[in-house]
Amino acid sequence: MKSFIASCVQELMLAHVNPDEFVLVIPSKRAKRYFFEAFVQAYKKPIFLPEILTIDELLHQNLRKTPIDKTRQLFLLYQVVVKNPEFDGLSFESFLSWGPIVLNDFEEMNRYILDTDQVFRNLLSIKELDSWNLEEGKEISESQQQFMAFWEVLPLIYEQYVHELTLRGFTTGGLLLRERALNPEELFGEKQTYFIGFNALTKAEQNIINAFIQAKKGTYWADVDAFYMNSSTHEAGMFHRKNKEVLGQAKAPFELNELNSKELNIEIIACPQASGQVKVAASALSTLTLEALNSTLVLLADERLIMPLLKNIPASVNQANVTVGLPLNQTPLKPFVELIFSIQENKERFKTQSAYYKDLLALFQHPFITVWVPQEVREKITQWEITSIKNNRVFQSEKQLTFTPILDRILHLLLRNWDNDYPTAIKSMQEITQELLDAIGKNNEFETQILVVFQQGLMALQNLASEGFPMMNLRTFKQFFNQHWSSLSLAYHGNPTQGVQIMGLLETRMLDFKNLIVLGLNEGVLPPNNGLDSVIPMDLRKGLGLPTPREKQGLFSHHFYRLLHRAENVVCTYAIGGEGIGTAEPSRYLTQIEMELCRVNPRVNLVKKMYTTPLLLNQDYRLSSIEKRPQIVHLLENYFSKKVSASAMLKYLQCPLDFYFRYLAELGEEETVEEDLEMSSMGKIIHSTLEELYLPFAERDRNNEPVAPPPPPVKATDIEGLISKAPEVLRRHFTLYLDNDESLIASGKNYLTYTVALEFVLNLLKNDRAYINSIQGDLYIHRLEAYLTAPMPVEVKGAIITLNWVGFVDRIDRIEERYRLVDYKSGKVKAEHVEFAQKEDVRKSFIACKHGLQLAVYAYLFEYNYGFWPDEKGIYAIQKSRDAFFPLTLKEVDEADFMEDFRALIVLILEEIYDLEKPFEHLVSSKYCNYC
Cα dihedral 444, 302, 101, 56, rounded to 10, equals: 70
Q: Model's pTM, two decimal places?
A: 0.69
Cα dihedral 640, 642, 643, 648, rounded to 10, equals: -40
Q: Which long-range contacts (CB under 8 A, 24 or more apart) does 403-408 make?
A: 403/377, 404/373, 404/374, 404/377, 404/380, 406/435, 406/438, 406/439, 407/369, 407/373, 407/377
**Cα 222 from Cα 205, distance rounded (Å):** 14
Cα separations in angstroms, 228 against 255, 589, 593: 11, 13, 12
For the stretch 542-587, pLDDT in tens is 999 999 988 988 999 999 999 999 999 999 999 987 544 345 789 9
Per-position b or e across 797-811, b if 16+ CB within 10 A of its CB: eeeebebebbbebbb
- The pLDDT value recorded for residue 250 is 46
- The pLDDT value recorded for residue 356 is 85
For the stretch 811-870, pLDDT in tens is 999 998 999 999 999 888 999 999 999 988 899 999 999 999 999 999 999 999 999 999
Of the listed ranges 73-87, 492-506, 652-666, the least confidently predicted one is 492-506
- The pLDDT value recorded for residue 702 is 84
For the stretch 770-819, pLDDT in tens is 999 999 999 999 999 999 999 999 998 888 999 999 999 999 999 989 99
Domain 644-921's class?
A: alpha beta
Is residue 667's pLDDT more than 90? no
- The pLDDT value recorded for residue 134 is 43
Percentage with pLDDT > 90 across the chain = 59
User: Residue 703's Cα: distance from chain center in Å?
Assistant: 52
Beta bridge partners of 393: none
Half-sphere exposure of 225 (CA within 13 A, CB side): 23
CATH 3.40.50.300 fits 264-324+493-610, yes or no: yes
Beta bridge partners of 290: none
Q: Which long-range contacts (CB under 8 A, 24 or more apart) does 793-797 make?
A: 794/903, 794/906, 794/907, 794/910, 795/907, 796/907, 796/910, 796/911, 796/914, 797/911, 797/914
**Cα 438 from Cα 443, distance rounded (Å):** 11
Task: Judge whether 327 and 486 are in contact, CB under 8 Å.
Answer: yes
Strand 66-67 to 51-54 pairing: unpaired
What's the mean pLDDT when you consider all of the chain?
88
- The pLDDT value recorded for residue 614 is 52
Best mean pLDDT range from 175-184, 245-254, 411-420: 175-184
**Cα 187 from Cα 113, distance rounded (Å):** 17
- The pLDDT value recorded for residue 129 is 77
Of 902 and 917, the one with more pLDDT: 902
**Cα 724 from Cα 452, distance rounded (Å):** 62
Task: Judge whether 197 and 224 are in contact, CB under 8 Å.
Answer: no
The residues near 532 (Cβ < 8 Å, ≥ 6 apart) are 538, 547, 548, 549, 552
| Cα angle 426-169-59, degrees, rounded to a multiple of 5 | 100
Residues written for the chain: 932
4-64+184-221 and 264-324+493-610 have identical folds: yes
Average pLDDT over residues 314-328: 81
Domain segments of the chain as ranges: 4-64+184-221, 69-171, 264-324+493-610, 330-491, 644-921
State whether residue 861 is helix, strand or coil.
helix
Is residue 603's pLDDT more than 70? yes
**Cα 393 from Cα 671, distance rounded (Å):** 13
- The pLDDT value recorded for residue 199 is 92
- The pLDDT value recorded for residue 617 is 38
The residues near 696 (Cβ < 8 Å, ≥ 6 apart) are 711
Task: Judge whether 360 and 400 are in contact, CB under 8 Å.
Answer: no
Beta bridge partners of 664: none
Of 919 and 693, the one with more pLDDT: 693
Beta bridge partners of 803: 792
- The pLDDT value recorded for residue 464 is 85
Of 470 and 864, the one with more pLDDT: 864
**Cα 755 from Cα 758, distance rounded (Å):** 5
- The pLDDT value recorded for residue 193 is 96
Domain 4-64+184-221's class?
A: alpha beta
